[in-house]
């Protein structure tokens, strides 16, 4: 088991988690419930951590995050579901999990 991502911004961690889980990577989330209510600025010492359960997934997980987090040339996108503004790195709205409006390329199907 290896840690792939941590950040003091729980929304960013949540989005990273979505990215990895949507790729079928099994995760363990540490400190998810530490620090009380989301929105309070009280938990600087308890960053949420994402751990890959299977070491075999570690490289793939890193690659996914690397790709997602480095693709920052595009502007933020507005969620058509709830109107939230999301970082371009994220494939889903952090609030309602909707897909962004057309970003080129259809989903690979499922």
Q: Where on the chain is the footprint of Zn ion (CB under 5 A)? A: 79, 81-82, 84, 93, 95-96, 98
Instruction: Kindly state the smallest distance separating residue 96's Cβ from Zn ion, in Å.
Output: 3
Nearer to Zn ion by Cβ, of 58 and 77: the residue is: 77
Nearer to Zn ion by Cβ, of 55 and 107: the residue is: 107
- The helix (H) or strand (E) run that includes residue 51 is strand 48-52
Nearer to Zn ion by Cβ, of 34 and 85: the residue is: 85
Q: Are 29 and 50 in contact (CB under 8 A)?
A: yes
Hey, is 7 helix, strand or coil? strand
Instruction: Kindly state the smallest distance separating residue 61's Cβ from Zn ion, in Å.
Output: 24
Closest CA to 16 of 54, 79, 78, 61: 61
Instruction: Kindly state the smallest distance separating residue 78's Cβ from Zn ion, in Å.
Output: 9
Nearer to Zn ion by Cβ, of 13 and 52: the residue is: 13
d(CA 18, CA 11): 10
> How many C-beta atoms lie closer than 10 Å to residue 18's C-beta?
17
Instruction: Kindly state the smallest distance separating residue 103's Cβ from Zn ion, in Å.
Output: 15
């Amino acid at each position: 088991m290896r840690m792939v991502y941590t950040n003091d911004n729980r929304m960013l961690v949540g989005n990273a988690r979505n990215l990895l889980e949507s790729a079928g990577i099994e995760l363990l989330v540490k400190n998810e419930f530490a620090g009380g209510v989301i929105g309070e600025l009280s938990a600087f010492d308890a960053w949420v951590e994402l751990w890959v359960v299977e070491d075999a997934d570690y490289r793939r997980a890193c690659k996914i995050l690397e790709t997602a987090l480095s693709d920052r040339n595009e502007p933020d996108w507005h969620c058509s579901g709830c109107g939230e503004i999301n970082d371009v790195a994220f494939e889903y709205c952090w609030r309602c999990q909707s897909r962004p409006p057309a970003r080129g390329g259809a989903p690979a199907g499922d």
